[in-house]
Amino acid sequence: MRYEKQSGVPQFECTEYEEKNKDYVVLIPIINEGERIIKELKRAYKYNVADYADIVICDGGSTDGSIKENKLKKLRVNTLLVKQDLGKQGAQLRMGIWWALKRGYKGIITIDGNNKDSIEDVSHFIEKLEEGYDFIQGSRFVKGGKAINTPFIRIISVKLIHAPIISITAHQRFTDTTNAYRAYSRRYLIDKRVQPLRDIFMTYELLAYLSVRATQIGMKACEIPVTRTYPKMGKTPTKISFFKGNFELISILLKNARGTYNPK
């Protein structure tokens, strides 16, 4: 089924392999992740993640053949959403959030599709959502979390730049704020003071914004331990370029701190 572009939501194609089965959904934004997304889905299959939440791929227009229907069905993927519009990660997430809210899920978990994160921990996010938390941040830096082969420059940038700015803006301490492995309650996402479905969120703005808005408006937030593993050798799996990408990320953080993304 094709959904036409509307305010705050890009045009996209939706292929549902199954109906809604669970109260919660895992959104996985990808773009040309190759074998990494297949390995991640195999881990999800091994640990029965689909017993806890529906798994949905939010594709940005991959051309590498990694999202073939037969593979996705075998690995218990519930639905494939394919963006056919402008924007990067923020647009993919807006597509997924709109669709998930329309389908009636009680909460949304997001996780990168590059097989760095412990997708087997999905049930722990759901436990926190059931306890009444509105924003749950996965962290490799809290007790029980694991940071494996993390490049030194990334540890420094998270601990000395990204996390302090987000924590000050949110009025609550967070330790692993670049980590897209997190969960949001339905109540949080539909609150008029939040409004995540806006075209201003095209790249990484939405992750930064949703990291701080919950506590700004008095909702409950916490961190839970997760594992993030980087490969020992080879290219680091990331879509953020070292110079341009990190400069844009800092610019987003500062705009976020000034309240630029808050609803007017």
Going by pLDDT thresholds of 50, 70 and 90, the confidence category of residue 246 is low
The tens digit of pLDDT for each residue in 150-159 reads 999 889 999 9
Domain count, the chain: 1
Question: Residue 240's domain is classified under what CATH number?
Answer: 3.90.550.10
In the DSSP assignment, the letter for residue 142 is S
Nearest alpha-carbon partner for 197 in 186, 189, 208: 189
Judge whether 262 lies within some domain.
Answer: no
Extended strands (E) in 111-199: 135-139, 146-148, 182-185
Q: What is the CA radius of gyration of the chain?
A: 17
The tens digit of pLDDT for each residue in 124-175 reads 999 999 999 999 999 999 999 999 999 998 899 999 999 999 999 999 999 9
Going by pLDDT thresholds of 50, 70 and 90, the confidence category of residue 242 is very low
Residue at token pair 């997304």:
37
| Residue 86, domain extent | 2-257
Judge whether 161 lies within some domain.
Answer: yes
